[in-house]
Amino acid sequence: MASQESTHIRVPTPKFRVAICGGGPGGLALAVTLLRAADRAAPVAIDIYEAAPELATVGAGISVWPRTRALLEELGVMEGLRGEIGAGHEGDGRERRSLGFTFRKSDQPQASKNFFELQVPTDPLLLHRSALLEALKRGLNVPSASTCTVHTSSRLVSYTSAESGGVTLHFTGGATAHADVLVGADGVRSAVRQTMFSSHSPPVQPRWTGVVAYRSLVRKEDLERLAKGHQAGKRAMVVNNNHNAQHLVTYPISRGEDINFVGFYTVPGAYESKASYPGKWVRDVPVEDVKACYEGWEDEVQAVTKCVKKATAWGIHVMDDVPRCVDGPVAILGDAMHAMETHFGAGGGQAMEDAYILGRILAHPRTALYSQSGKVDVGTALKVYERVRFRFASSLVEKTRVVGKLYEFANGWEPEPDLAWAKRWGEEVTNLWKWQWDIALGKDWLAAEKMLLDEAGRTLEARL
């Protein structure tokens, strides 16, 4: 198990040790929160275990909406994202770019028109996932970072309860490590979750949605040469059809240099029959496969697909049957708990929200390794996290599926040639999206802290 050790300086003795399995946005956001919220007299020791040789990310574009942006501001991460699309503040003199989604029906050779504009209260932040990860990594560079160690090339296989308390982590190659608290931020194929529910019946495992997503990055300059002024280079678009279960999403990232391309195809009946995804969940595919999926669509779409130079196919899986997210001193967050489809662009944001609430709870002065007068033990603290985050985040798995079906005009939403239909459809989509600009971070934390203080008060009463 390789490791990259931080430079240690003299610090107070940590109150306990937290192992974070996974160095993606959720895992790093948890580490940054623990460092920023640390009690100087009793900080938390942090070990980040990442399976890859370095802290990197898969995927390409990511959209950050108001509720998640508020979190990034709170953690001081936004400063490292200045210059990205949508990163300017309202009222800072910049003109808004109107980056809410444009919807367009395009599954015909004749030129179409935009039929709905999703109005949002503030532009989303549109960027490459690597830019977000780099900003979060910079968030680890704080004075208290001496308590944080990153271990790369460390793939967790399982964990066991330790006789002395806490858990023993088991890695490929036979290496082990100890932690008082283990947090699985290790994605949809989480080893932490698999161990947590190893004896659960029925098995708790990812479910293929029947959706295949073709992902690619299109260079804006290539698209401009082919179709000057194309909408895809300026704003987010959802291109729909009503003959097959397909749609296409594009939006500019990388400060406007690239266009994130995600083409969706749904295999009829695969989700309902609980079919297994055939082959590797992520694989390279010929560009011709992508072009064939949208053959016969209008020129607006053909211009984009002609610019696709390299593509991958992702079998989209969800976690829609997780019964809980905490077991003793072990918790899961993000895709390990509530992997969802991509139609809200919310997976990474929800992982970071989980991380923020969990980090604030663990770093709180009223949280200790063992229960004592006026303080709660880590197991009780984790249960507070579960009460605040589990139900809401899990509910988004189904809500995301519903909005995806709307994009493909399913479930009775066959397009009609009148403006009244477009208005009704748009209202339905807008209502489903509204949670994304509800900045709930403050009230969620206040609710969590109240629960934590109530539990701490009970420990005090028990000793009187």
Distance (Å, whole) CA 289 – CA 213: 12
**Tokens (6 digits) for 235:** 């704003």
Per-position pLDDT tens, the chain of length 464: 445 544 444 558 999 999 999 999 999 999 999 999 988 888 999 999 999 999 887 668 899 988 899 999 999 999 999 999 988 754 444 444 556 789 998 888 888 889 999 988 888 899 999 999 999 999 998 776 678 999 999 999 999 999 989 999 999 999 999 999 999 999 999 999 999 999 999 999 999 999 999 999 999 999 999 999 999 988 888 887 766 688 999 999 999 999 999 999 999 999 999 999 999 999 999 999 999 999 999 999 999 999 999 999 999 999 999 999 999 999 999 999 999 999 999 999 999 999 999 999 999 999 999 999 899 999 999 999 999 999 999 999 999 999 999 998 988 888 888 889 999 999 999 999 999 988 888 999 999 999 999 999 987 766 55
Radius of gyration of the chain (CA): 23
Best CATH choice for the domain 102-123+207-318 from the list 3.30.9.60, 1.10.3720.10, 3.90.470.10, 2.60.120.1030: 3.30.9.60
Question: What CA–CA distance (Å, rounded) separates 353 from 394?
Answer: 13
Note the pLDDT of residue 144. Answer: 63
| 283-to-53, 207, 211, 310 alpha-carbon distances in Å | 20, 18, 14, 11
pLDDT value for 307: 97
Q: 245 and 408 in contact (C-beta within 8 Å)?
A: yes
Q: What is the structure's pLDDT at 258?
A: 95
- As assigned by CATH, the class of the 16-86+128-205+322-410+438-462 domain is alpha beta
- The residue behind tokens 């663990």 is 362
The reported pLDDT for the residue numbered 461 is 63
Q: Where are the domains of the chain?
A: 16-86+128-205+322-410+438-462, 102-123+207-318
The Cα–Cα gap between 324 and 247 comes to 33
Q: Which amino acid, 351? A: A
* Cβ pair 252, 85 in contact under 8 A: yes
CA nearest to 224, candidates 232, 214, 215: 232
pLDDT number for residue 464 = 52
What pLDDT does residue 121 have? 84
